[in-house]
């Protein structure tokens, strides 16, 4: 029996506004955040009968408490999907949602699924990274992994060591631009269409409504960043200002076979081209997107010159700059994170991959002459993840 692979399309993606740890979602359950995203996808796409959904894959890095119990299945039930729709949980740390998308996309291409919901959630205020984890002592005792690799801030300092041309000043300047671009994107109404308002509750303040990303600091300046402490190393270069924070939030995306989208009358935003994951030395985790991007480009038969749009997760400014330097791309290249990134919006670990996809789709919508784009991120314990997308509404012009 032979099979013909099917094209996979990204039809829609939504997310909650991201919150600060112990902030607007302090008394909101993690599963309720992702449930709201799933319901919003159904509301926004009424042509999709819920029973046509074949799978739900939801990522969480810390799969305990209200992020546990096979959250893809439980969230699907609570979101009102038919009991016939299965679901599962997935974990690849920061690349959780991205992996949920590519894993289910592989099933669509193979023909096992027609329609899926994939996303992620992380409530870092309730479940700090590493909570309940018991690493095998052999990892350190046998030097399988450098102990510094267990602390993400240390890996970012190591990356500065490896690439001394990436100074603290460059990292701070990049961070200031991220905040400015995010504020401008809000002002232009680019971010809000994919945000799901979330009812919040506080025992002291009562009910509220989260409609904007809480971590944003548009007033950030080079002077304010210069005054911040370097918590991971004395006289270091990584600060709370040039790195993503500790955040809460959820995302969900709707993917399907291109032929099914046409059947249902749904308009795709992007088509999946290729994806790649790689492993690197864990203590230099932030460099992971370099080899994963090289691999994804090779699989697609493309070069970096073919890429018109980049959405790079800003776990740390140094991580983004190392990728740009590798390809000779300027720090302020207009193709890179034009609407801001995780330094401004926040990075609730396993949820962030779909935020990148939403913003890439917004780049494509804004400029139909952009044909290919990349979503990429570094991943804890030394991994890189890259997905290449094609603009579903590309107008055939070359940049």
284 domain residue, yes or no: yes
Torsion angle (degrees, nearest 10) of CA 297, 298, 302, 308: 10
160 domain residue, yes or no: yes
> Angle of helix 96-110 relative to helix 352-366, nearest 10 degrees?
70
Contact 174, 317 (CB under 8 A): yes
374 domain residue, yes or no: yes
> Angle of helix 317-327 relative to helix 168-187, nearest 10 degrees?
100
| CA distance linking residue 124 with residue 94, whole number of Å | 12
Residue 139 has a pLDDT of: 83
72 domain residue, yes or no: no
Q: What share of the chain is helix, strand, coil (3-state, %, to 5)?
A: 40, 20, 40
| CA distance linking residue 189 with residue 179, whole number of Å | 15
Q: Domain range spanning residue 187?
A: 144-191+273-388
Residue 398 has a pLDDT of: 65
> Residue 322 carries which DSSP code?
H
Provide the CATH number for the domain around residue 308: 3.40.47.10
Catalytic residues: 94, 347, 378
256 domain residue, yes or no: no
Torsion angle (degrees, nearest 10) of CA 332, 388, 51, 49: 60
C-alpha of 332 from chain center: 21
Closest to 310 (Cα-Cα) out of 321, 299, 301, 295: 321
Report in angstroms the alpha-carbon separations of 209 from 5, 24, 38, 344. 43, 9, 18, 20
User: How many domains does the structure of the chain reveal?
Assistant: 1
90 domain residue, yes or no: no
162 domain residue, yes or no: yes
| CA distance linking residue 222 with residue 118, whole number of Å | 38
| CA distance linking residue 87 with residue 76, whole number of Å | 7
Residue 251 has a pLDDT of: 98
Strand-pair partners of 57: 88, 118
9 domain residue, yes or no: no
Residue 203 has a pLDDT of: 85
Residue 148 has a pLDDT of: 77
**Predicted TM-score (pTM) above 0.95:** yes
Closest to 323 (Cα-Cα) out of 363, 295, 365, 286: 286
| CA distance linking residue 214 with residue 5, whole number of Å | 42
Contact 378, 319 (CB under 8 A): yes
The pLDDT profile of the chain, 399 residues, written as one tens digit per residue, is 777 899 999 999 999 999 999 999 999 999 999 999 999 999 999 999 999 999 999 999 999 999 999 999 999 999 999 999 999 999 999 999 999 999 999 999 999 999 999 999 999 999 988 888 888 888 877 878 887 777 889 999 999 999 999 999 999 999 999 999 999 999 999 999 999 999 998 888 889 999 999 999 999 999 999 999 999 999 999 999 999 999 999 999 999 999 999 999 999 999 999 999 999 999 999 999 999 999 999 999 999 999 999 999 999 999 999 999 999 999 999 999 999 999 999 999 999 999 999 999 999 999 999 999 999 999 999 999 999 999 999 988 765
Strand-pair partners of 372: 307, 390
């Amino acid at each position: 029996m032979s099979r013909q692979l099917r094209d996979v399309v990204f039809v829609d993606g939504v997310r909650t506004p991201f919150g600060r740890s112990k902030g607007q979602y302090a008394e909101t359950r993690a599963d309720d955040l992702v449930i709201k995203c799933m319901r919003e996808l159904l509301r926004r796409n009424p042509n999709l009968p819920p029973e046509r959904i074949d799978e739900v894959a939801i990522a969480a890095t810390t799969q305990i408490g209200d992020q546990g119990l096979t959250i893809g299945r439980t969230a699907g039930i609570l979101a009102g999907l038919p009991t016939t729709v299965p679901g599962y949980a997935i974990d690849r740390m920061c690349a959780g949602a991205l992996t949920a998308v590519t894993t289910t996309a592989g099933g669509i291409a193979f023909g096992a699924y027609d329609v899926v919901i994939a996303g992620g959630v992380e409530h870092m205020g309730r479940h700090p990274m590493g909570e309940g984890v018991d690493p095998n002592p052999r990892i350190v005792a046998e030097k399988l992994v450098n102990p510094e690799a267990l602390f993400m801030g240390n890996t970012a300092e190591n990356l500065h060591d490896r690439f001394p041309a990436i100074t603290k000043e460059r990292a701070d300047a990049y961070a200031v631009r991220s905040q400015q671009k995010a504020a401008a994107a809000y002002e232009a109404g680019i971010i809000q269409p994919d945000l799901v308002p979330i009812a919040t509750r506080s025992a002291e303040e009562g009910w509220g409504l989260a409609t904007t990303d809480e971590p944003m600091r548009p007033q950030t300046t080079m002077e304010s960043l210069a005054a911040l402490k370097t918590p991971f190393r004395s006289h270091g270069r990584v600060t709370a200002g040039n790195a993503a924070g500790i955040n809460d939030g959820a995302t969900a995306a709707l993917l399907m076979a291109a032929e099914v989208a046409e059947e249902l009358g749904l308009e795709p935003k992007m088509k999946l081209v290729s994806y790649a994951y790689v492993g690197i030395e864990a203590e230099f985790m932030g460099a992971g997107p370099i080899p994963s991007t090289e691999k994804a480009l090779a699989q697609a038969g493309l070069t970096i010159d073919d890429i018109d749009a980049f959405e790079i997760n800003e776990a740390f400014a140094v991580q983004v700059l190392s990728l740009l330097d590798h390809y000779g791309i300027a720090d302020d290249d207009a193709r890179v994170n034009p609407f801001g990134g995780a330094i401004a919006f926040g990075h609730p670990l396993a949820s962030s991959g779909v935020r990148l996809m939403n913003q890439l789709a917004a780049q494509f919508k804004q400029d139909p002459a952009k044909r290919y784009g990349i979503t990429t991120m570094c991943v804890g314990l030394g991994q890189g993840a890259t997905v290449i997308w094609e603009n579903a509404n590309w107008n055939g012009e070359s940049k």
